[in-house]
Chains A and B, each alone.
Chain A
Amino acid sequence: MVKDNKPRKIRLSANPTAEALADLRIGDIVYLDGTVYTAREGVYKRVLEDGIAMPMDLPADSAANFHCSPAATQHDDGSFDLGAVTATASFRFSKWIGPWLAASGAKLIIGKGGMSSKDYREHFVPHGAIYLTTVGYGTGALLGRGVKQVSNLHWKKELGLAQAMWVLDVENFGPFIVESDLDGNSLFERENARISASLDKVYEGTRPAVLKRFGETDDRSDEMI
């Protein structure tokens, strides 16, 4: 809670070395250089469930998978108009993430809201991967500025613009915050634990609802994901 305790800012390759990843601490601010690609449920299903070969050479082309659909359009001449870029919530992709890290060799998963530390320990740690979260979930214009060009768009016809695989050449692309480290620690879980410690006091003077609901919890240290 001290304002002069500013987070570190770090430039990182989208194909990072193990040493560079080991140097990162949760809460660090990261800006990326290199190539990133978008892949979410559409791509995961197609590759992991339907067994269709990936249209890119991964991780050689890129080790950074962005959970994202850009606000972008492709013109009739094939050129692109890319405006803002914002991540989508990653916890929904939990069931695919282990097989995906194995298949793609991704070292950086970028998205909104992170995943659970259980996912990090079971899937990320064995593959030497970490999770970067976008900031505020609305710095779409800043991220858009970091995209130098759309170098390819795969599976537009098969998956539609929102689910297609966008390949983005980026420079000083960020900010992102390091949400998980190589040991599988989660920044969000650390913050949640700190906040939960004083929630009882906040709830003083409130009362549980007369009519209950199935599946309801009164343990507010629980997470929703």
Chain B
Amino acid sequence: MINIELIQKTAESLMAKAAIEIPDDYLTGLQKAANDEDGDLSSFVLEAMLENYVAAKEDRRAMCGDTGCPRWYVKMGNEAQIDGGPIALEAALRRATANATKSVPLRPNRVHPLWRTDHDNNVGIGAPEIEYGFEPDGNWIDLVTVHKGGLFGTDYRMLFPSDGIEGIKRFYLDSLVAFGKRGLACQPAIIGIGLGGSKDSCMVLGKRAACLRMVGDRNPDPKIAALEDEFKELGNNIGMGAMGFVGKSMVIDCNIEVGYCHTGGMQMSVHAFCLSSRRAVARIYDDGRVEFRTDPAWFTDYQRRETVEW
């Protein structure tokens, strides 16, 4: 049985870590981009960002004043049992979100879409989002929080098999160029692409590709992995850099995830995580151990399974 207070306490730590500490894989990618950048203004922006991450860690303050829309990805091993069950789990994550909004502090971004009511704690109807996944073995629960920006850099389009790779490239470039102007997408960033599924699951896949994979890892399908390399290169050759200034740093990495779709279609979504790519992860075991890490390790063979039985 996994202790519910431990879940809440760990979740609160994760909220602070995600907001304050840049993940190592992303930082390494960004440093490389800063070294390669030769646009004068883009270079200045990247240097300022790198300085900012040091300041955030030293002062224990959020990297960015727009702390995004905190969300949760929860993964459970098949043998895991939670003290109080799923209702207690959700309450703990909502409490952790509200408490951390005050204690870090985070910006209370979440409001009612029509009445603009703000509870000043990032909790409300459907907020924070909590999504679930499961793994065949294990008596642990993984908590992943992602502080994803909420406004720009994401788009969806219904493509068709006849659009082909040329059509996929076009929509990818359109999304980067459109939202890259004036830096609305807060690039450079990890770009996630969802292909297939249905409209909603395509969006979910693309968002997870952006938020739940590490810089440098590759899709296990070698042809998709080759596309990831090609798209990263393509994005960095647009001629645009940070803030939409002349430069060549748009894409720290490009991750593609796919899902089976209608035989007539080829849904596509594009998602830009942000310049700070905020995520934090912990695994909590039923014996009380807690292991913090930055790799969500979300896309396992089980999550990408194609067969009826496992």
Interface residues of A, Cβ cutoff 8 Å to B: 1-3, 5-7, 27, 29, 68-73, 81-89, 112-114, 133, 135-145, 160-163, 175, 177, 187-188, 191-192, 194-195, 198-199, 202-203, 205-211, 213, 220, 223-225
Report if B193 contacts A (CB, 8 A): no
Interface residues of B, Cβ cutoff 8 Å to A: 19, 38-41, 43-46, 48-49, 51-53, 55-56, 59, 61-67, 101-102, 104-109, 111, 116, 118, 120, 151-152, 157-160, 162-164, 166-167, 169-171, 173-174, 177-179, 181-184, 186, 234, 237-240, 242-246, 274-276
Contact between B40 and A3, CB atoms less than 8 A apart: yes
In the assembled complex, the Cα of A139 lies from the Cα of B243 at a distance in Å of 12
Contact between A203 and B56, CB atoms less than 8 A apart: no
Contact between A84 and B49, CB atoms less than 8 A apart: no
In the assembled complex, the Cα of A88 lies from the Cα of B169 at a distance in Å of 30
A sample of 25 cross-chain residue pairs with beta-carbon separation below 8 angstroms, ordered by A number, consists of A3-B38, A71-B65, A71-B104, A71-B106, A83-B106, A84-B19, A84-B63, A89-B151, A136-B183, A137-B66, A137-B275, A138-B63, A138-B64, A138-B276, A141-B64, A160-B108, A160-B116, A188-B182, A191-B245, A191-B246, A194-B246, A206-B169, A209-B170, A209-B171, A224-B184
Contact between A69 and B244, CB atoms less than 8 A apart: no
In the assembled complex, the Cα of A208 lies from the Cα of B43 at a distance in Å of 33
Contact between B65 and A160, CB atoms less than 8 A apart: no
Q: Which residues of A contact B43 (CB under 8 A)?
A: 3
Q: Which residues of A contact B160 (CB under 8 A)?
A: 210-211
Q: Which residues of A contact B64 (CB under 8 A)?
A: 84, 86, 137-141
Contact between B46 and A136, CB atoms less than 8 A apart: yes
Q: Which residues of B contact A114 (CB under 8 A)?
A: 182
Contact between A73 and B105, CB atoms less than 8 A apart: yes
Contact between B107 and A139, CB atoms less than 8 A apart: no
In the assembled complex, the Cα of A133 lies from the Cα of B184 at a distance in Å of 12
Contact between A7 and B275, CB atoms less than 8 A apart: no
Q: Which residues of A contact B116 (CB under 8 A)?
A: 160, 163
Interchain nearest-CB distance for B60 vs A (Å): 8
Contact between B49 and A73, CB atoms less than 8 A apart: no
Residue from the list B38, B120, B173, B186 in contact with A2, Cβ < 8 A: B38
Contact between A220 and B65, CB atoms less than 8 A apart: no
Contact between A73 and B237, CB atoms less than 8 A apart: no
Contact between A145 and B55, CB atoms less than 8 A apart: yes
In the assembled complex, the Cα of A66 lies from the Cα of B263 at a distance in Å of 50
Residue from the list A85, A139, A223 in contact with B48, Cβ < 8 A: A139
Interchain nearest-CB distance for A196 vs B (Å): 9
Contact between B41 and A138, CB atoms less than 8 A apart: no
Contact between A70 and B170, CB atoms less than 8 A apart: no
Give the secondary structure class of A's interface: loop
| With A135-B48, A137-B275 already in contact, 19 other A-B pairs whose C-beta atoms are closer than 8 Å | A1-B39, A6-B40, A73-B120, A84-B65, A85-B65, A112-B184, A113-B184, A136-B46, A136-B186, A136-B242, A136-B275, A138-B52, A138-B64, A138-B186, A143-B65, A145-B59, A192-B181, A199-B177, A202-B173
Residue of chain B at shortest CB distance from A223: B181
In the assembled complex, the Cα of A68 lies from the Cα of B159 at a distance in Å of 38
In the assembled complex, the Cα of A160 lies from the Cα of B107 at a distance in Å of 11
In the assembled complex, the Cα of A205 lies from the Cα of B186 at a distance in Å of 27
Contact between A160 and B239, CB atoms less than 8 A apart: no
Residue from the list A6, A175, A202 in contact with B238, Cβ < 8 A: A202
In the assembled complex, the Cα of A71 lies from the Cα of B303 at a distance in Å of 35
Given contacts A133-B243, A138-B274, A160-B120, contact A224 B56 (CB under 8 A): no
Q: Which residues of A contact B169 (CB under 8 A)?
A: 205-206
Interchain nearest-CB distance for B159 vs A (Å): 6
Interchain nearest-CB distance for B253 vs A (Å): 18
Contact between A29 and B44, CB atoms less than 8 A apart: yes
Given contacts A86-B65, A160-B120, A198-B239, contact A137 B44 (CB under 8 A): no
Q: Which residues of B contact A206 (CB under 8 A)?
A: 166-167, 169-170, 173
Q: Which residues of A contact B163 (CB under 8 A)?
A: 207, 209-210
Interchain nearest-CB distance for A45 vs B (Å): 10
Q: Which residues of B contact A83 (CB under 8 A)?
A: 61-62, 65, 104-106
Contact between B109 and A142, CB atoms less than 8 A apart: no
